[in-house]
Amino acid sequence: GAVVSQHPSRVICKSGTSVKIECRSLDFQATTMFWYRQFPKKSLMLMATSNEGSKATYEQGVEKDKFLINHASLTLSTLTVTSAHPEDSSFYICSARMVASSSYEQYFGPGTRLTVT
Amino acid sequence: LAKTTQPISMDSYEGQEVNITCSHNNIATNDYITWYQQFPSQGPRFIIQGYKTKVTNEVASLFIPADRKSSTLSLPRVSLSDTAVYYCLVTLPSGGYNKLIFGAGTRLAVHP
Protein backbone atom coordinates (compact mmCIF):
# COMPACT_ATOMS: atom_id res chain seq x y z
CA GLY A 1 0.00 0.00 0.00
CA ALA A 2 0.94 3.64 -0.31
CA VAL A 3 3.18 4.80 2.50
CA VAL A 4 3.95 8.31 3.63
CA SER A 5 6.77 8.94 6.06
CA GLN A 6 7.68 11.95 8.14
CA HIS A 7 10.99 12.91 9.65
CA PRO A 8 11.65 13.53 12.42
CA SER A 9 8.92 11.85 14.44
CA ARG A 10 9.72 14.05 17.41
CA VAL A 11 11.72 17.23 17.76
CA ILE A 12 12.46 19.59 20.59
CA CYS A 13 13.88 22.98 19.80
CA LYS A 14 14.55 26.23 21.56
CA SER A 15 12.47 29.29 21.05
CA GLY A 16 13.71 31.39 18.14
CA THR A 17 15.21 28.55 16.15
CA SER A 18 13.85 27.02 12.96
CA VAL A 19 12.78 23.42 12.46
CA LYS A 20 12.36 21.50 9.22
CA ILE A 21 9.94 18.60 8.90
CA GLU A 22 10.08 16.28 5.92
CA CYS A 23 7.18 14.44 4.32
CA ARG A 24 7.98 11.69 1.83
CA SER A 25 5.83 9.45 -0.29
CA LEU A 26 7.82 6.21 -0.23
CA ASP A 27 6.32 4.13 -3.00
CA PHE A 28 4.37 6.57 -5.11
CA GLN A 29 4.64 10.02 -6.61
CA ALA A 30 2.57 12.88 -5.28
CA THR A 31 1.93 16.16 -7.04
CA THR A 32 -0.04 17.42 -4.10
CA MET A 33 0.69 17.13 -0.42
CA PHE A 34 -1.15 18.68 2.47
CA TRP A 35 0.08 19.90 5.83
CA TYR A 36 -2.03 19.82 8.99
CA ARG A 37 -1.47 20.69 12.60
CA GLN A 38 -3.26 19.17 15.53
CA PHE A 39 -3.40 20.32 19.13
CA PRO A 40 -4.09 17.87 21.97
CA LYS A 41 -7.64 16.54 21.97
CA LYS A 42 -8.45 18.64 18.93
CA SER A 43 -9.12 17.87 15.29
CA LEU A 44 -6.73 18.28 12.40
CA MET A 45 -6.49 21.76 11.00
CA LEU A 46 -5.40 22.16 7.39
CA MET A 47 -2.51 24.59 7.13
CA ALA A 48 -1.58 24.52 3.46
CA THR A 49 -1.62 22.64 0.21
CA SER A 50 1.79 21.87 -1.21
CA ASN A 51 2.08 21.62 -4.98
CA GLU A 52 5.14 20.17 -6.67
CA GLY A 53 7.03 22.84 -8.57
CA SER A 54 4.87 25.75 -7.48
CA LYS A 55 4.09 27.85 -4.46
CA ALA A 56 2.06 26.41 -1.65
CA THR A 57 -1.47 27.57 -1.00
CA TYR A 58 -2.04 28.57 2.60
CA GLU A 59 -5.27 28.49 4.53
CA GLN A 60 -6.63 31.67 5.99
CA GLY A 61 -4.84 32.66 9.15
CA VAL A 62 -1.72 30.62 8.46
CA GLU A 63 1.39 32.77 8.07
CA LYS A 64 3.29 31.74 4.96
CA ASP A 65 6.49 33.41 6.17
CA LYS A 66 6.29 31.50 9.42
CA PHE A 67 5.54 28.11 7.91
CA LEU A 68 7.68 27.71 4.82
CA ILE A 69 6.68 24.90 2.50
CA ASN A 70 8.81 23.49 -0.29
CA HIS A 71 7.63 20.71 -2.58
CA ALA A 72 10.73 20.24 -4.67
CA SER A 73 10.08 16.76 -6.00
CA LEU A 74 7.23 14.35 -6.53
CA THR A 75 8.13 12.46 -3.38
CA LEU A 76 9.17 15.15 -0.93
CA SER A 77 7.59 18.14 0.71
CA THR A 78 9.13 20.05 3.60
CA LEU A 79 7.60 22.29 6.24
CA THR A 80 9.94 24.69 8.01
CA VAL A 81 8.71 26.37 11.16
CA THR A 82 10.74 29.55 11.34
CA SER A 83 11.56 31.37 14.55
CA ALA A 84 9.60 28.85 16.52
CA HIS A 85 7.79 29.83 19.70
CA PRO A 86 6.19 27.69 22.39
CA GLU A 87 2.76 28.25 20.85
CA ASP A 88 3.99 26.48 17.72
CA SER A 89 4.30 23.30 19.75
CA SER A 90 1.91 20.89 18.08
CA PHE A 91 1.53 17.65 16.15
CA TYR A 92 2.20 18.23 12.45
CA ILE A 93 0.81 15.77 9.93
CA CYS A 94 1.21 15.59 6.17
CA SER A 95 -0.82 13.72 3.57
CA ALA A 96 -0.29 12.92 -0.08
CA ARG A 97 -2.25 11.90 -3.11
CA MET A 98 -0.89 9.86 -6.00
CA VAL A 99 -0.09 11.45 -9.31
CA ALA A 100 -2.71 10.88 -12.01
CA SER A 101 -4.68 8.56 -9.82
CA SER A 102 -8.39 8.05 -9.95
CA SER A 103 -8.26 7.12 -6.31
CA TYR A 104 -9.99 9.41 -3.90
CA GLU A 105 -7.77 8.43 -1.06
CA GLN A 106 -5.23 10.59 0.69
CA TYR A 107 -2.43 8.86 2.55
CA PHE A 108 -1.34 10.36 5.82
CA GLY A 109 2.05 10.37 7.42
CA PRO A 110 2.61 9.30 11.04
CA GLY A 111 3.01 12.87 12.23
CA THR A 112 5.79 14.91 13.84
CA ARG A 113 5.59 16.07 17.44
CA LEU A 114 7.18 19.50 17.79
CA THR A 115 7.97 20.90 21.21
CA VAL A 116 9.36 24.40 21.47
CA THR A 117 10.95 25.27 24.80
CA LEU B 1 -17.41 22.18 1.58
CA ALA B 2 -20.32 20.58 3.40
CA LYS B 3 -20.12 20.74 7.16
CA THR B 4 -20.45 17.51 9.09
CA THR B 5 -21.82 16.89 12.57
CA GLN B 6 -20.99 13.83 14.66
CA PRO B 7 -21.39 12.87 18.31
CA ILE B 8 -18.42 14.01 20.32
CA SER B 9 -17.92 10.71 22.05
CA MET B 10 -19.27 7.18 22.31
CA ASP B 11 -18.66 4.25 24.60
CA SER B 12 -18.96 0.58 23.79
CA TYR B 13 -17.83 -2.82 24.96
CA GLU B 14 -15.79 -5.46 23.27
CA GLY B 15 -17.76 -7.60 20.86
CA GLN B 16 -20.53 -5.09 20.33
CA GLU B 17 -21.48 -3.43 17.08
CA VAL B 18 -20.88 0.31 17.02
CA ASN B 19 -22.76 2.69 14.78
CA ILE B 20 -21.57 6.28 14.41
CA THR B 21 -23.88 8.62 12.58
CA CYS B 22 -22.76 11.73 10.77
CA SER B 23 -25.01 14.52 9.51
CA HIS B 24 -24.14 16.41 6.34
CA ASN B 25 -27.28 18.30 5.40
CA ASN B 26 -25.61 20.44 2.74
CA ILE B 27 -23.89 17.66 0.85
CA ALA B 28 -23.53 18.42 -2.85
CA THR B 29 -24.51 16.12 -5.68
CA ASN B 30 -20.94 15.11 -6.52
CA ASP B 31 -19.71 14.77 -2.94
CA TYR B 32 -18.63 11.47 -1.48
CA ILE B 33 -18.64 10.54 2.21
CA THR B 34 -15.36 9.36 3.65
CA TRP B 35 -14.45 8.08 7.11
CA TYR B 36 -11.03 8.14 8.71
CA GLN B 37 -9.74 6.63 11.94
CA GLN B 38 -7.05 8.21 14.08
CA PHE B 39 -5.15 6.73 16.99
CA PRO B 40 -3.33 8.99 19.45
CA SER B 41 -0.12 10.48 18.06
CA GLN B 42 -0.66 8.93 14.64
CA GLY B 43 -1.89 10.18 11.28
CA PRO B 44 -5.45 9.40 10.19
CA ARG B 45 -6.13 6.16 8.39
CA PHE B 46 -8.72 5.75 5.62
CA ILE B 47 -11.55 3.41 6.61
CA ILE B 48 -14.24 3.57 3.97
CA GLN B 49 -15.87 5.78 1.38
CA GLY B 50 -19.27 5.76 -0.27
CA TYR B 51 -21.72 7.72 -2.36
CA LYS B 52 -25.07 6.08 -1.69
CA THR B 53 -26.75 2.99 -0.25
CA LYS B 54 -24.30 0.62 1.38
CA VAL B 55 -20.60 0.00 1.12
CA THR B 56 -18.77 -2.76 2.94
CA ASN B 57 -15.13 -3.66 3.26
CA GLU B 58 -13.10 -5.85 5.57
CA VAL B 59 -13.11 -3.22 8.29
CA ALA B 60 -16.52 -1.55 8.30
CA SER B 61 -19.80 -0.85 6.59
CA LEU B 62 -21.13 2.51 5.52
CA PHE B 63 -24.84 3.13 5.24
CA ILE B 64 -26.10 6.13 3.31
CA PRO B 65 -29.84 6.86 2.99
CA ALA B 66 -31.39 8.01 -0.24
CA ASP B 67 -31.33 11.70 0.67
CA ARG B 68 -27.61 11.40 1.57
CA LYS B 69 -28.00 13.96 4.34
CA SER B 70 -26.48 11.57 6.82
CA SER B 71 -24.37 8.46 6.91
CA THR B 72 -23.65 5.76 9.46
CA LEU B 73 -20.34 4.03 9.98
CA SER B 74 -20.85 0.55 11.37
CA LEU B 75 -18.03 -1.29 13.12
CA PRO B 76 -18.90 -4.94 13.75
CA ARG B 77 -17.74 -6.61 16.95
CA VAL B 78 -15.38 -3.92 18.17
CA SER B 79 -12.27 -4.70 20.14
CA LEU B 80 -10.15 -2.61 22.48
CA SER B 81 -7.93 -1.70 19.55
CA ASP B 82 -10.83 0.11 17.90
CA THR B 83 -10.59 2.82 20.54
CA ALA B 84 -9.82 5.88 18.42
CA VAL B 85 -11.25 9.07 16.98
CA TYR B 86 -13.42 8.62 13.90
CA TYR B 87 -13.83 11.44 11.41
CA CYS B 88 -16.57 11.81 8.83
CA LEU B 89 -15.69 13.97 5.83
CA VAL B 90 -17.50 15.06 2.72
CA THR B 91 -15.32 15.45 -0.33
CA LEU B 92 -15.32 15.31 -4.08
CA PRO B 93 -14.25 11.97 -5.61
CA SER B 94 -10.93 13.38 -6.72
CA GLY B 95 -10.30 13.98 -3.06
CA GLY B 96 -6.63 14.62 -3.38
CA TYR B 97 -6.97 17.91 -5.16
CA ASN B 98 -9.72 19.02 -2.92
CA LYS B 99 -8.99 19.82 0.63
CA LEU B 100 -10.02 17.50 3.41
CA ILE B 101 -11.59 19.55 6.16
CA PHE B 102 -11.79 17.60 9.38
CA GLY B 103 -14.59 18.17 11.84
CA ALA B 104 -14.40 17.43 15.52
CA GLY B 105 -14.71 13.69 15.09
CA THR B 106 -16.18 11.07 17.40
CA ARG B 107 -14.03 9.73 20.19
CA LEU B 108 -14.89 6.05 20.59
CA ALA B 109 -13.88 4.27 23.75
CA VAL B 110 -14.17 0.48 23.79
CA HIS B 111 -14.22 -1.08 27.24
CA PRO B 112 -13.42 -4.65 28.25
pLDDT, tens digit (0-9, with 9 covering 90-100), for A59-90: 999 999 999 999 889 899 999 999 999 999 99
Who wins on pLDDT, B94 or B107? B107
CB contact under 8 A, A111 and B43: yes
**Per-residue pLDDT tens for B46-102?**
999 999 999 999 999 999 999 999 999 999 999 999 999 999 998 765 544 567 888
| Alpha carbon of A30: minimum distance to chain B alpha carbons (Å) | 10
Residues 6+ apart with CB under 8 A from B23: B4, B5, B6, B69, B70
Distance between CA atoms of B84 and B106, rounded to whole angstroms? 8
Nearest CA in chain A to B33: A104
- Tell me B51's DSSP state: S
Contacts of A71 in chain B (CB under 8 A): none
The yes-or-no verdict on residue A103 having pLDDT over 90 is no
> Considering chain A, what is the average pLDDT of its residues?
91
Contacts of B62 in chain A (CB under 8 A): none
Please report the pLDDT score of residue A102 as a whole number: 56
The yes-or-no verdict on residue A104 having pLDDT over 80 is no
Q: Given pLDDT bands bounded at 50, 70 and 90, which one contains residue A16?
A: very high
Q: Exposure pattern of A56-89 as b/e (b: 16+ CB <10 Å)?
A: bebeeebeeeebbbebeebbbbbbebeebeeebb
Please report the pLDDT score of residue A63 as a whole number: 95
Contact A112, A92 (CB under 8 A): yes
Q: What are phi and psi of B103, to 5 degrees?
A: -85, -165
Work out whether strand A57-58 and strand A44-51 pair parallel, antiparallel, or are unpaired: antiparallel
- Tell me A59's DSSP state: P
Distance between CA atoms of A31 and A33, rounded to whole angstroms? 7
